[in-house]
């Protein structure tokens, strides 16, 4: 019987969901349930320039008893130190270097050609292998890469210390028989792959991931990436059911606890999808959070207690910053600040870097018959700077004005707006991701005013770029 390893990426994929409302404690709950289920590797989201991600990994690392703790890392050298520091206390720490290898992905993410990408892969895998014994190289969009270059990338990873090579059919367009032939071709092109663990990640958009998985095992793959929700790769519950029903016939087994498979994955799905009808034992972990009702007049002791209830242990300085932000937000609301809003405030505070730019004030003019304009005043290293500019809408005008102040343009990689609570006075949380030199910087902003939240998020990302450039 050939043992197949299961690497679950539910927490990694959850971080990419714009509809996700999974809080700190629920993430810990999900990870520990996956550990008890017998998943070989739990893959988290990469550290997104935020202290909250580091705190989460620090908290999770000692709790895992069976599973390896894997954290993805891009090709930027500056990300390694924080990522390794966050996972190294786990009993089985793992670093997963993720690199695009198709022409379209390399151009979009790095504006890089094949020789440059090989250099980046070599440098990052080697650096990771020097500090961590278990290094994985994940090749994104591998099935659309040029065959010779893909073979070179795999060989490069192996030579520099990767113990696992994961190839991704990101498009999910191959039939099982095609993927099997594709993997067999890799073994022929890269002889050293036979001495390395081959892992696969297959998109389930066409509902073929489970079938492709077993075709991959026949070709020599020993690990499969799974998720509890979504279609990014094979469904954990479905794959487990196939193992349970067909292990004796196929000759493949896995370490999942089949007795608790249905119950555990059901609980995880409800947490990930934010179901209101969660099981009693799951609700017990978050019941106290529903009772968080704060305003700007609450004492520091009250706020500190509420912060601990949502899973954070802050320093005095961080708590002071939370108090200031709480007073600012609550001053614009007639109702109290709830647990979801408090979580957003805490996350924003602990992810902050030293502020090169600080928002002083802004005025937006917009209408259906005029071009939107923005007048923004920032404080830059103790000096007041201000500018005006126009845009297609109020947010565009504000961003254009900030660019005029800084004299720099950054590619807007992502922009998200979501409400922390319901109602006319709901606090909006905005995420702005700016790309600079192949690296993405995430900024967040909170306000009852969406434009204000967007400006704060842009400045937060801008300050992270400035802090990185000053290192």
Residue identified by tokens 């075709």 is 215
Residue 449, φ and ψ in degrees, nearest 5: -105, 115
Residue 177, φ and ψ in degrees, nearest 5: -65, -35
pLDDT beyond 50 at 121: yes
pLDDT beyond 90 at 260: yes
Distance from C-alpha of 374 to C-alpha of 398, rounded to nearest angstrom:
5
What's the pLDDT score for residue 420? 55
What's the pLDDT score for residue 334? 59
pLDDT beyond 80 at 141: yes
pLDDT beyond 90 at 240: yes
What's the CA angle centered on 274, arms 420 and 46, to 5 degrees?
75
Average pLDDT estimate for 62-87: 91
What's the pLDDT score for residue 188? 96
- Work out the pLDDT band at 442, boundaries 50, 70, 90: confident
What's the pLDDT score for residue 152? 97
What's the pLDDT score for residue 311? 65
- Work out the pLDDT band at 446, boundaries 50, 70, 90: confident
Average pLDDT estimate for 183-209: 94
- Work out the pLDDT band at 276, boundaries 50, 70, 90: very low
What's the pLDDT score for residue 148? 96
Distance from C-alpha of 466 to C-alpha of 471, rounded to nearest angstrom:
9
What's the pLDDT score for residue 220? 96
Tell me the three-class secondary structure of 247-269, residue by residue: HHHHCEEECCCCCCHHHHHHHHH
- Work out the pLDDT band at 268, boundaries 50, 70, 90: very high
Which parts of 40-92 are beta strand (E)?
A: 41-43, 68-73
- Work out the pLDDT band at 163, boundaries 50, 70, 90: very high
What's the pLDDT score for residue 76? 84
Tens-digit pLDDT profile for residues 361-417: 999 999 888 889 999 999 998 899 999 999 989 999 999 999 999 999 998 888 888
Residue with the larger pLDDT of the pair 113 and 152: 152
Average pLDDT estimate for 230-242: 91
What's the pLDDT score for residue 275? 45
411-419 β-sheet, strand order: 411-419, 428-436, 439-447
What's the pLDDT score for residue 164? 98
What's the pLDDT score for residue 422? 55
Parallel, antiparallel, or unpaired: how do β-strands 428-436 and 439-447 relate? antiparallel
Distance from C-alpha of 5 to C-alpha of 235, rounded to nearest angstrom:
14
What's the pLDDT score for residue 187? 96
What average pLDDT is seen over the chain? 86
Which range among 124-133, 157-166, 244-253, 327-336 shows the weakest confidence by mean pLDDT?
327-336
What's the pLDDT score for residue 126? 97
pLDDT beyond 70 at 282: no
Cα-only R_g, the chain: 24
Average pLDDT estimate for 122-143: 96
- Work out the pLDDT band at 281, boundaries 50, 70, 90: very low
Burial of 277 (0-12, 13-18, 19+ CB in 10 A): exposed
What's the CA angle centered on 294, arms 314 and 347, to 5 degrees?
35
Burial of 16 (0-12, 13-18, 19+ CB in 10 A): exposed
pTM: predicted TM-score of the whole model, two decimal places: 0.67
């Amino acid at each position: 019987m050939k043992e197949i390893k299961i690497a679950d990426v539910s927490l990694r994929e959850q971080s990419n969901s714009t509809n996700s409302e999974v809080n700190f404690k629920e993430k810990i709950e999900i990870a520990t349930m996956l550990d008890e289920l017998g998943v070989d590797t739990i893959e988290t989201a990469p550290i997104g320039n935020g202290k909250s991600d580091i705190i989460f990994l620090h908290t999770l690392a000692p709790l895992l008893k069976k599973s390896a703790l894997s954290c993805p890392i891009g090709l930027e050298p500056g990300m390694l130190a924080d990522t390794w520091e966050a996972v190294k206390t786990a009993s089985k720490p793992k670093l997963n270097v993720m690199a695009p290898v198709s022409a379209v992905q390399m151009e979009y993410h790095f504006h890089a050609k094949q020789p440059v990408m090989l250099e980046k892969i070599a440098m990052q895998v080697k650096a990771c292998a020097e500090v961590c014994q278990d290094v994985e190289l994940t090749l994104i969009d591998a099935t659309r890469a040029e065959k010779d270059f893909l073979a070179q990338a795999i060989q490069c990873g192996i030579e520099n210390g990767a113990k696992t090579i994961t190839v991704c059919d990101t498009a999910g367009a191959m039939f099982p028989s095609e993927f099997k032939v594709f993997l067999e071709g890799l073994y022929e092109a890269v002889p050293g792959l036979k001495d390395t663990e081959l892992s696969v990640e297959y998109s389930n958009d066409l509902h073929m991931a489970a079938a492709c998985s077993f075709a991959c095992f026949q070709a020599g793959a020993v690990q499969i990436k799974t998720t509890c929700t979504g279609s990014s790769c094979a469904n954990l519950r479905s794959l487990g059911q196939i193992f349970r029903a067909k292990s004796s016939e196929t000759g493949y087994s896995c370490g999942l606890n089949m007795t608790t498979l249905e119950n555990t994955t059901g609980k995880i799905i409800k947490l990930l999808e934010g179901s209101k009808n969660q099981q009693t034992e799951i609700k017990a972990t978050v019941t106290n959070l529903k009772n968080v009702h704060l305003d700007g007049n609450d004492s520091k002791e009250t706020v500190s207690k509420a912060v601990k209830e949502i899973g954070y242990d802050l320093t005095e300085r961080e708590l002071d910053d939370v108090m200031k932000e709480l007073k600012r937000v609550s001053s614009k609301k007639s109702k109290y600040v709830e647990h979801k809003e408090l979580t957003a405030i805490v996350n924003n505070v602990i992810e902050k870097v030293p502020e090169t730019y600080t928002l002083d004030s802004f005025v937006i003019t917009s209408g259906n018959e005029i071009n939107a304009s923005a007048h923004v005043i920032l404080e830059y290293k103790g000096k007041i700077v201000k500018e005006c500019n126009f845009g297609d809408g109020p947010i565009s005008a504000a961003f254009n004005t900030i660019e005029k102040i800084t004299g720099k343009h950054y590619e807007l990689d992502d922009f998200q707006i979501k409400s922390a609570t319901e109602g006319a006075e709901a606090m909006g949380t905005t995420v702005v991701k700016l790309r600079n030199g192949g690296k993405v910087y995430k900024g967040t902003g909170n306000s009852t005013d969406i434009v204000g939240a967007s400006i704060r998020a842009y400045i937060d990302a801008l300050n992270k770029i400035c802090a990185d450039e000053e290192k």
